[in-house]
């Protein structure tokens, strides 16, 4: 089940408004403003529809960046991004939590440090992309878990979103979403089983 809501005050897509002044029709063009969309769920691994949609958007010609903060198994890192459909750049952390058991991470300080550093490096890459305005859509998958684990600072995320180039959409996914981020969202979708 999907429950979705949108802020009414959100900016509209590319619109053309007709202005009639002294029997002359003038057209005024408004540029598209990107939205902040949040997908929340009570459990991890429920965002396959978002990945499906980003593949479709890339195939339709939109520039899409998919960042998976906590997914493991690939050991990509920023240097080994994967390009799909010519327009989708897919990046996972070079060393992520999902690659190891929680006990193994807690008992190995070097491993924990390496995971934190690679996740933070991925976040710095994301910040540059969000602020550049070069992407039509950026998906930050499980970023709220990275915040909860104190790898990424919530205030840094809020500041980055406030200062972003507003033409592209930013999609954030996760559980336990901070209230101030919920208030920034143009759309909040709750995924239920």
Looking up residue 149, the CATH number of its domain turns out to be 3.40.50.300
For residue 90, being part of any structural domain is answered with: yes
Query: What integer is the mean pLDDT of 44-65?
Result: 84
For residue 116, being part of any structural domain is answered with: yes
For residue 112, being part of any structural domain is answered with: yes
Q: What count of other Cβ atoms lies within 10 Å of the Cβ of residue 91?
A: 22
**193 vs 160, more confident:** 160
For residue 21, being part of any structural domain is answered with: no
Query: What integer is the mean pLDDT of 156-175?
Result: 90
Query: Taking the model in full, what pTM does it have?
Result: 0.77
**27 vs 18, more confident:** 27
pLDDT recorded at residue 46 = 59
Q: What does the DSSP 8-state code read for residue 125?
A: H
For residue 50, being part of any structural domain is answered with: yes
Asked if residue 192 has pLDDT above 70, the reply is: yes
pLDDT recorded at residue 154 = 94
pLDDT recorded at residue 18 = 42
Q: Cβ distance 24 to 18 under 8 Å?
A: no
**179 vs 74, more confident:** 179
For residue 27, being part of any structural domain is answered with: no
Asked if residue 174 has pLDDT above 50, the reply is: yes
Q: Cβ distance 138 to 171 under 8 Å?
A: yes
**21 vs 120, more confident:** 120
pLDDT recorded at residue 71 = 73
Mean pLDDT is lowest, of 29-38, 103-112, 125-134, 175-184, for 29-38
Domain that includes residue 85, residue range: 2-12+33-191
How far apart, in whole angstroms, are the C-alpha atoms of residue 89 and residue 54?
10
Report residue 146: phi and psi, to 5°: -65, -35
For residue 103, being part of any structural domain is answered with: yes
Q: How many domains does one find in the chain?
A: 1
- Residue 76 banded pLDDT, cuts 50, 70, 90: confident
How many residues in the chain?
193
Residue 8 Rama label (left phi>0; alpha psi -120 to 50; beta): alpha
Helices 109-132 and 154-162: angle between axes, nearest 10 degrees: 10
For residue 94, being part of any structural domain is answered with: yes
How far apart, in whole angstroms, are the C-alpha atoms of residue 167 and residue 94?
29
């Amino acid at each position: 089940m999907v429950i979705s809501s949108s802020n009414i005050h959100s900016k509209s897509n590319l619109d053309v408004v007709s202005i009639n002044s002294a029997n002359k029709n003038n057209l005024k063009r408004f540029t598209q403003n990107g939205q902040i969309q949040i997908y929340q769920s009570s459990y991890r691994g429920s965002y396959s529809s978002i990945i499906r949609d980003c593949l479709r958007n890339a195939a339709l010609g939109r520039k899409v960046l998919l960042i998976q903060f906590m997914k493991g198994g690939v050991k990509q890192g920023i240097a080994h991004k994967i390009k799909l459909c010519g327009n989708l750049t897919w990046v996972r952390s070079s060393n992520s939590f999902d690659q190891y058991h929680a006990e193994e991470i807690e008992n190995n300080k070097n491993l924990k440090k390496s995971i934190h550093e690679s996740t933070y490096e991925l976040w710095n890459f994301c910040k540059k992309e969000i602020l550049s305005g070069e992407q039509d859509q950026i998906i930050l998958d499980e970023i709220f878990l990275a915040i909860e684990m104190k790898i990424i600072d919530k205030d840094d995320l809020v500041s980055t979103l406030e200062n972003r180039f507003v033409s592209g959409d930013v999609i954030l996914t996760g559980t336990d979403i901070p209230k101030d981020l919920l208030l920034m969202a143009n759309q909040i979708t709750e995924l239920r089983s």
